Structure formats: structure tokens, C-alpha cells
Amino acid sequence: MNRNILIALLIVVLAGGGYYYYSAQKAAEEAAAAQKAADEAAAAAAEAAKKAEEEAAAKAAEEAKAAEEAAAAAAAEAAKAAEEAAAKAAEEAQKAAEEAAAAAQSAVEEAADAVEGAVQEATEAATGAVEAAGDAAADIGAALDPANFDAEKVKRAIDASTLDDATKSTLKTAVDGAAANPALVQTVVDQVKAALGL
């Protein structure tokens, strides 16, 4: 009887020990599985973080490259616009210079024509004056010839002279006297010639 109890107790102890061992083994396995899962989760998290970091770095690099390309394009566009503006300004300046040169040439030609015209007019006027003076001198010379004495022409010559009024009046009175008395013509002619510097 006692033996049976001992056997039963032994069985109970062995069963309890087996259960305990099984429970401990299962707990260890579960702990190992949990640790493995935690390690895998940590590894996955680290991989995800690394991937996210790489993606962020790649995206930042792409954005930086895009910004650099945009800045380069903007700079090229600005340079092109500046070059076009400079070319247009140079073209306008060249056109203005050509127009100014043409205007200056036209002004020079007009001035030359005006000078030529003025010189020609002055020459013609001087020639006319010389001819008129020559004609007048010839007329007064003929009028003061005692043989062709012309009292009216002599008096006109006296009026046209630069003599003072008193002298002009005296000479014209003498001319009138010579016209009335031919014997006085030579004396009056000499007097008028002397007064006129002839």
C-alpha cells in the first residue's frame, strides 16, 4: 500500500516536474521567439529608417539638382536677354549714329550750297556794283566833259556823293550857272572834279 502511494507520489512528482520542464521549455521558446521577433522588428525598423534616410537623401539631391538646373536655366535666360538687349541697344545706337551722320552730311551740304549761293550772290552783287560804279563813273566822266556837259547828270552825281550838304548846294548852284553860261563850264567842271576826287 505504501509502495503504491510512493509510486503514485513519484508519478505525481515526475508529472509535475515534466509539466514544469515543459512549461519552462515553452516559456523559453516563447521568449526566444519574442526576442527573435523583437530583433527582426528592430532590424526591419533599422532597414526602414535606413531606406527612408536614403530616399530622403536621394530626394534632397534631386531637388538640389533641379534647383541648380533651374538656376542655371534662369542665368542662361538672363544672359540671353541681356545679350539681346545689348545687341538691340547697339543696333539702335548705330542707327542713331548713321541718322546723325546723314543729318550732319545734309547740313554740311546745305551749308555748302548756302555758302556757294551767298558767294555767288555776293560776287554778282559786287560785279554789278563794280559795273554800276564803272557805268556811273563813265556817265559822270562823260557828263563832266566840257564838250558833252550835262548839268542834270552832274547834279545827280553830286547828290550821290558823300560831300556835306553845304558843299553839294554850292556845287549844284555853280553847275546851274555853268548850264546858263557856257563860258563857266570848264571852271565848274574842274571845281566838281576836284570836289569828287576825279
Whole-prediction pTM: 0.33
Distance of CA 67 to the CA centre of its chain: 36
Rounded CA-CA distance 112/164 in Å is 43
Residue 63 lies in a domain: yes
Residue-level pLDDT at 79: 66
Q: What is the DSSP string of 65-131?
A: HHHHHHHHHHHHHHHHHHHHHHHHHHHHHHHHHHHHHHHHHHHHHHHHHHHHHHHHHHHHHHHHHHH
Residue 190 inside a domain? The answer is yes
Identify whether residues 112 and 166 lie together within a single domain: no
**Residues 113 and 149 placed together within one structural domain of the fold:** no
Nearest CA to 104 out of 178, 96, 35 is that of: 96
Expressed as residue numbers, the domain containing 127 is: 46-137
Give per-residue pLDDT as tens, 48-105: 879 978 997 789 788 968 878 886 787 688 668 768 876 886 788 588 768 967 886 8
**126 & 75 share domain:** yes
185 and 105 co-located in one domain: no
The gap between the terminal CA atoms of the chain, to the nearest Å, is 200
Estimate the crossing angle of helix 165-180 against helix 185-196, to 10 degrees.
160
| Count of structural domains within the chain | 2
Q: Domain check: are 87 and 117 in the same one?
A: yes
Say whether both 53 and 117 belong to one domain. Answer: yes
Q: Would residue 28 count as lying in a domain?
A: no
The three three-digit cell numbers of residue 175, written as one number = 553847275
Q: What is the chain's pLDDT, residue by residue, as a tens digit (198 residues)?
A: 688 888 888 898 898 888 888 888 988 889 888 899 889 988 887 898 799 789 977 897 889 688 788 867 876 886 687 688 768 867 885 887 689 678 868 875 884 676 477 557 744 643 444 454 445 555 677 778 888 889 999 999 999 999 999 999 999 999 999 999 989 999 999 999 999 987
Q: Helix (H) and strand (E) counts for the chain? A: 4, 0
Amino acid at 175: V
Q: How far is CA 152 from CA 100, 149, 174, 175, in A?
A: 62, 9, 12, 9
Give a yes or no: residue 5 inside a domain.
no
Q: Is residue 40 part of a domain?
A: no
Let me know if residue 87 belongs to a domain: yes
52 within a domain of the structure (yes/no): yes
